Structure 1
């Protein structure tokens, strides 16, 4: 005679979960750790190369301009506002509020990507001019690839919610997108000071 089986009723478990109980949340955290470490390595190389130069920027290279990079940094930080609302609305499962917040964030991030080209020009040196230029360009370009991909991801997710194509499982995606955007904006602030202000201080 076989032993009796233990049967559990899982019908009461939630079908949508947020935060640490979600596998996608851990995946997003993993992306942030990997990308954050890569950006840290780029910043470390910037300071390492500085130790081999008497002047920084070297030679007659002028210091980076501040106007466009500062404006763009402020814009990128402000994108956190609609993304915060998107995260809150996702947990309420308010479809139109999520769509509105994601699309506003996308509309704000598009000019950030455009102004990134002018941020590179504000470095006042070609990427291959010397070690300083290569390190500074490397930091800015690497972060730029992240926000470029993010604007497509956020925009696509926003359109899905707007058009009613999103399912219940996509609400945690919106909340995780908000967390990821906080990372993108937050990590740029120290990088902005390193690239555009540190040459004036080192």
Structure 2
């Protein structure tokens, strides 16, 4: 059998970003799955609330301070995150390195702030159905902050090596920034559920 070239792809880049990257599609699929999980958690919360004669069940409403501070920091973190994504598109290695260090510090700060949120719920996870669902929602979102923090720290380390200045790494930084925006956006309805619905 004789082989013949059909198409010369030698000049194509070895990796792509955005929709040209399989990692981007994987990140989007992951966000879809996780978003569905958050939606189910909210549905369970509302279902339990509809069954309870009084909500919260045998507990005071959560203290607003811890959740409000975390939410403010989370929303503000979108600014450096968007800058990192833009610098990665422009392949500005020095700026990307600084931006990833800032985002790593923001993630660590948010994990520390989240540690104050669990006591602020003023209910234990095993007290009743209300306690279980609010701890579950907070725990799910904490897992997402932690997941992105680990990814950001790994990317930060990689960007300070000889492998940092490559199209593939810049694409990874953009995907990481996309996922962080997802973590921020999904927190807003969860925040309303935990802190404001009990006050209605």
TM-score higher than 0.5: yes
After superposition, residues 126-165 of structure 1 pair within 5 angstroms as 126-165=124-163
Q: Which deviations, in whole Å up to 9, do the C-alpha atoms of 1:53-83 show, x marking residues without a partner?
A: 0100123x11110011000011111111111
Segments of structure 1 that go 5 or more residues without pairing to the other structure are none
Segments of structure 2 that go 5 or more residues without pairing to the other structure are none
C-alpha contact (below 8 Å) 1:103/1:159 kept by paired residues: no
After superposition, residues 57-96 of structure 1 pair within 5 angstroms as 57-59=56-58, 61-96=59-94
Q: Which deviations, in whole Å up to 9, do the C-alpha atoms of 1:9-64 show, x marking residues without a partner?
A: 212212331111110000001110111111111111101111110100123x1111
What is the RMSD of the two structures over their aligned residues, measured on CA atoms? 1.5
TM-score, normalising length from structure 1? 0.93
Aligned length: 199
Counterparts of 1:33 and 1:189, CA distance in 2:
17
1:163, distance to aligned residue in structure 2 (A): 3.7
**Runs of 4+ in structure 1 displaced over 3 angstroms?**
none
Counterparts in 2 of 1:128 and 1:101: CA distance versus 1, 3 Å: same
Counterparts of 1:197 and 1:69, CA distance in 2:
11
Match of 1:51 in 2: 50
Counterparts of 2:63 and 2:78, CA distance in 1:
25
